[in-house]
Amino acid sequence: MPDTVISAPVSGTSGIPDVTDPFGLFKAWLEEAKASEPNDPNALALATSTAEGRPSVRMVLLKDFDADGFVFYTNYESRKGGELQGNPHAAMLFHWKSLRRQVRVEGVVSPVSDAEADAYFGSRARISRLGAIASAQSRPLPSRDTLEHRVEELDTQYPGDTIPRPAHWSGFRVTPETIEFWQDMPFRLHDRRVFTRDGEGWRKTALYP
């Protein structure tokens, strides 16, 4: 039996707008994701690696972004915190399934300022702040009761809303060297555009799907 040939238009339209500012495009896509994704449209997969190049990946939440980069917060003594301090490079992946889109970011990592970390820490729910102090993130936990008991102790220690941010809890900013946008298209002829930092601006390149 001869192969079936499917005829379909595959040219003339692009899923990604022809723009020069990757941050403006990311903002537009994130706003659309907020209207369509059922949970955590700001979720991203964060890839780090040790100084020897052994990778690890986990989900975190984007808390801020601007032309300087993408910000998330964590325990600096956690696995990802230690890896980022030893090898300050990271990759991020945003995947919005309902929109059939993804954005990849690769860049250099640096700590946020104390003022930024204090401001975000203070905006969190009270129990979340207590939990950030109580959790020895990524290290062995003897039992769930151990963690809950520690939170109860801190609840008594800090009865009001003034809870100091622990020195080991702060944020990282990923300053992108590349930002790639991917849009699902018919027949797997997807649209891909990568922005590469070029001095003070960006160089845009289309990629094969």
pLDDT in tens, 165-201: 999 999 999 999 999 999 999 999 999 999 999 999 9
Mean pLDDT over each residue of the chain, to the nearest integer: 93
197 catalytic per annotation: no
pLDDT tens profile 114-140: 999 999 999 999 999 999 999 999 999
Q: Of 139, 121, 116, 120, which is closest to residue 131 (Cα–Cα)?
A: 121
- pTM attached to this predicted model: 0.90
Helix/strand/coil percent split, the chain, to 5: 30, 35, 35
Distance CA 177, CA 90 (A): 10
pLDDT at 5 > cutoff 50: no
The confidence score (pLDDT) of residue 25 equals 98
Q: What is the mean pLDDT of residues 25-52?
A: 96
Q: Of 175, 177, 24, 181, which is closest to residue 96 (Cα–Cα)?
A: 181
Of 58, 165, 188, 193, the active-site residue reads 188
Domains recognised in the chain with CATH numbers: 22-121+169-207 (2.30.110.10)
Structure tokens at 51: 């100084």
Distance CA 104, CA 19 (A): 17
What letters, b where the CB count within 10 A reaches 16 and e where it falls short, cover 70-95?
A: bbbbbbbbbbbbebbeebbebbbbbb
pLDDT at 70 > cutoff 80: yes
Q: Of 21, 77, 69, 70, which is closest to residue 44 (Cα–Cα)?
A: 70
